[in-house]
Amino acid sequence: MRRASLHMLLCQFAMALGLLLSLGSEAWAARPAPQAAVDLEAPPALAEDASLDQLNAQLDLIRQRVTADASDDLLAELRQSALQVQRQADALLA
């Protein structure tokens, strides 16, 4: 069961990363006009020994923040969050 949950987590991560990359390329190509300061709420930091449920919740937050009109700063923050989740998932595999 844990293996299946971990597989599902990694699949969700791959989908989130693909979405980030596709939106990132669209945002880069479109180059929207500069916006006023955006209030970016940092994602909650997870402990190194985070459970699969916590990692799934983090991925859900990342997905919710990705929008069609995302700015470059927001995409950079989301990429960092996704990398953090990936490191934690890799640690669970070890």
Evaluate whether residue 34 is within a structural domain.
no
For the record, the structure tokens of 50 come out as 């985070």
The per-residue pLDDT for range 17-76, each reduced to its tens digit, is 777 777 666 555 555 555 444 445 555 666 677 788 888 888 878 777 765 456 677 777
Q: Does 66 reside within a domain?
A: yes
Total domains present in the chain = 1
What pLDDT does 27 receive?
A: 55
Q: DSSP state, 1?
A: -
pLDDT at 46: 66
- The full DSSP string for 25-94 is HHHHHH-PPP-SPP-PPPPPPPPTT--HHHHHHHHHHHHHH--TT--HHHHHHHHHHHHHHHHHHHHHH-
Q: Domain limits at 64?
A: 2-25+46-93
Residues 84, 39: contact at Cβ < 8 Å? no
pTM of full prediction above 0.75: no
Per-residue pLDDT band for 85 (boundaries 50, 70, 90) equals confident
